[in-house]
Amino acid sequence: MPVHRLRVEQQTVQEIYVDWKGDRFVETLGPPSTPRLLDYLKKIEVQFDRPTEIEINLQAVDWMRQVGQSLARGYVVTIDYGYPAEMLYTSRRPKGTFLCYYKHATNENPYDHVGEQDMTAHIDFTSLAKAGEEAGLSVIGFTDQTHFLMGLGIAQRMEPYAMEMDRSEKAKKEFLAMKQLMAPERMGRVFKILIQGKNIPPGPSLDGLQFKPFFKLLTLIFFFFMM
């Protein structure tokens, strides 16, 4: 899904546009392309104490509303890298989260290797949760990938591979792959899981939510914004 890139400085909000000058792409600043961007910023109520670049994904919010309206009963599980709005939109990230990937290496220049590299930005889970609530989806849980996989039993799945690592290259490969998914300093912490539900009868809690994540502050902030 595409994102809008904005630059916020004091009370001024400008969108980052792309132009062509001479023989290269350049970035220019101009008024936001849609009033929805300013409405978005008002809803998340985040303050910036210095010039900061941010990304807003309006299409993700629209998608969540459509999912909620289409679903009669069931769960919606959203897995991606991101944060609640309070931790995503902050002056501590003056360049935002926009990144490019080219041959498994990251860079911040989308005008190199045009058409040959992936461009990505982190998800604002607070806005996704709010959009879902407007469509009848209740937040059931919010966790990180490490604790989600622990709840699903990945540790038990790793045990036989751990016992065979010294004798089997395949077992070692499988074990290290699972470990990478769990690593808190890598995918385990960056990837988050938002679980929402609609017309779900009372029953046992979901396995993926049985372990509380270590980012307690993050969880508290998230549910504070959901109140």
Distance CA 11, CA 28 (A): 19
Q: Residue 211: what pLDDT?
A: 84
pLDDT (tens digit per residue) in 158-191: 999 889 988 999 999 999 999 889 887 778 888 9
Distance CA 166, CA 42 (A): 56
User: What does the domain layout of the chain look like in residue ranges?
Assistant: 4-226
Select 4-226's CATH number: 3.40.50.970, 3.40.50.12710, 3.40.50.2300, 3.30.9.90. Answer: 3.40.50.12710
User: Chain centroid to CA 70: how far?
Assistant: 23
Q: Residue 218: what pLDDT?
A: 45
Does residue 14 contact residue 30 with C-beta atoms inside 8 Å? yes
Q: Which segments in the chain show pLDDT lower than 70?
A: 214-227
Q: Residue 214: what pLDDT?
A: 54
Exposed e or buried b for every residue in 14-48, given b needs 16+ CB within 10 A?
A: ebbeeeeeeeeeeeeeeebeeeebeebbeebebeb
Q: Residue 38: what pLDDT?
A: 95
Q: What is the pTM of this model?
A: 0.86
Looking at every residue in the chain, the average pLDDT score rounds to: 89
Q: Residue 222: what pLDDT?
A: 46
Q: Residue 184: what pLDDT?
A: 77
Query: Which stretches does DSSP call E strand in 49-208?
Result: 52-56, 74-83, 99-102, 105-107, 118-120, 123-124, 138-144, 191-198
